Amino acid sequence: MNWLQIADEVIEGKIISNEEALAILNSDDDELLKVMDGAFAIRKHYYGKKVKLNMIMNAKSGYCPEDCGYCSQSSKSTAPIEKYPFITKDEILAGAKRAFDNKIGTYCIVASGRGPTRKDVNVVSEAVTEIKEKYGLKVCACLGLLKEEQAQQLKEAGVDRYNHNLNTSERHHSYITTSHTYEDRVNTVEIAKKHGISPCSGAIIGMKETKEDVVNIARALHQLDADSIPVNFLNAIDGTKLEGTKELNPRYCLKVLALFRFINPTKEIRISGGREINLGSLQPLGLYAANSIFVGDYLTTEGQEANSDYRMLEDLGFEIELSAKQEAAFC
C-alpha cells in the first residue's frame, strides 16, 4: 500500500478501512519505515514537531479492590509494591513544582481504587486550584470511576483532563477484569465530557488480544472522541494474572502507534507505560507517530532517566511544548 497517499487522504477526512488498519499491523517489517512515514505525515500536519511531556504523581498506591489482570495494585496481585493511602495536598503541590521545573506540560494525579472518596476529591480540588495559580500546568486527574457531582467539583477546581482508559476492546474486556464492565469505563469518560473536562482514554497492548481487538479499541477511542490517547505496552509484572506474558516486539509496537495515528489523526497520541521495555532502542521512532510521552516513573514501575528523554528529543530535532508560565521562565 502507498501509506503516504493514504495519509494524505486521512488528512482530507478519510476514515481508513478495517482492511487498511489490519494491513498496518500485518505489514512486513521491511515496510515499517514507509508505514511510519505515513504516520509522521499526519502527525506533522496536526502537531508539527512539538512533543507534549507528562508526569505522573502516584497519589495513592495499592489497596485496590479491583481484579485487573495487568495491575500490580489489584486485589488479586501478589506483586511486592509500595502501598500508601492518599497523599496530602502539600505532597501533590511539591510534585507539581517538580513537573514545572522539568518542563512538564501536563501533571497527572493518579490514585488506585475503584473510585475516589469525597475526601480524595476535596484534596485534589484544593491542590489543583493552587497548581493552576502557581504553575499554570495542565492537570489531568485519574481517580477511577467517577460520579456526576465529583466531575463537577473537579471541573470547578480547574482540572483540565480526566483519564480513564478503556484498556482493551469490548470483546476482550472480561478476560482482563470482571470487577467492573467495559460500559462502566465508557460511562466515566462520558461523565467527564458532560462536565466539560477533556477526556483522556487509551489502551494497553500485549494482553493476549487479537489484532482485530487492537483495531477495535483504536476505533472505540475515536468514537468516544478522546482528546488524549495513552498507548501502553504491557510490562508484565510478576504476581499479576498476566505475569510472564511476552507478545510484543519493538517493530510491532511502532505499527500499533502508527495505527492509532491513522485512526485518530487529530488527537494527542501518548507513548505511555512499557515503552522503555517494549520499544527499546527504537523509542525515538515512536515519536514519528505519537506526539506525547510520559517522563519519569510510572505507577509502580520505573521509567527511563529523564535526561535520556530530553536528549532523545533534542537528537530528533523535536521541540518540547511548554505552558505559558514555562515559556516565560525558560525562554
pLDDT digits (tens, 9 = 90+) for 77-99: 888 888 899 999 999 999 999 99
Q: Given this model, what pLDDT does residue 302 score?
A: 65
CA nearest neighbour of 298 among 244, 243, 247, 237:
237
Q: Given this model, what pLDDT does residue 2 score?
A: 97
Compute the distance between CA of residue 214 and CA of residue 220 in angstroms, rounded to an integer.
Answer: 10
Low-confidence residues of the chain: pLDDT under 70? 297-302
Binding-site annotation, residues for [4Fe-4S] cluster = 64, 68, 71
3-state SS class at 86: coil
Say if residue 300 is exposed, middle or buried (CB neighbours under 10 Å; 0-12, 13-18, 19+): buried
Q: Given this model, what pLDDT does residue 62 score?
A: 83
Binding-site annotation, residues for [2Fe-2S] cluster = 108, 140, 200, 270
The pTM for the full model equals: 0.96
Q: Given this model, what pLDDT does residue 79 score?
A: 86
CA nearest neighbour of 42 among 204, 259, 218:
259
Compute the distance between CA of residue 56 and CA of residue 297 in angstroms, rounded to an integer.
Answer: 7
Grid coordinates given for 242: 498476566
CA nearest neighbour of 286 among 253, 326, 317:
253
Q: Given this model, what pLDDT does residue 298 score?
A: 67
Grid coordinates given for 212: 482485530
Binding-site annotation, residues = 64, 68, 71, 108, 140, 200, 270
